[in-house]
Amino acid sequence: MDDFGHVTLGGVGEVLARGIAEGTGLETRAVVLSHLQRGGVPCAYDRRMARNFGICAVNLIQNNQTGHLVSFVNGRYAAVPLGEIVGKLALVDVEREYDTVRYNGKRTIL
């Protein structure tokens, strides 16, 4: 129950991780996004993207496409073979992704 007496739901990630571990014999861990992120409350876009990543991941498993990760490239979800990304740097294009004039990292109080 929360502070207002409402039933709070949660913990399905731990249950699912335990089931995967038991079914596969592989060590499996659940991650609570809010514990990992600590960036504030996710907006609707964040929640939809997380949902879509999960759907894509399950689709990969159903289609026996192991060894892939879900990625969002050029506005589309894609399955990328791990061999294409392991050991490679994925650098952010600062000129394209950031307003370097307004966000230059310098902060002052005065």
The tens digit of pLDDT for each residue in 41-73 reads: 778 888 899 999 999 999 999 999 999 999 988
Confidence of residue 108 (pLDDT cuts 50, 70, 90): low
Q: What are the residue ranges of helices labelled H in 2-89? A: 12-24, 33-37, 44-62
Distance CA 110, CA 106 (A): 12
- The answer, as to whether pTM is greater than 0.85, is no
Of 40 and 15, more confident: 15
Least trusted range by pLDDT, from 9-13, 48-52, 104-108: 104-108
Cα–Cα separations (whole angstroms), residue 95 to 52, 68, 91, 98 = 28, 29, 12, 6
Residue 12: predicted pLDDT: 85
Distance CA 110, CA 96 (A): 30
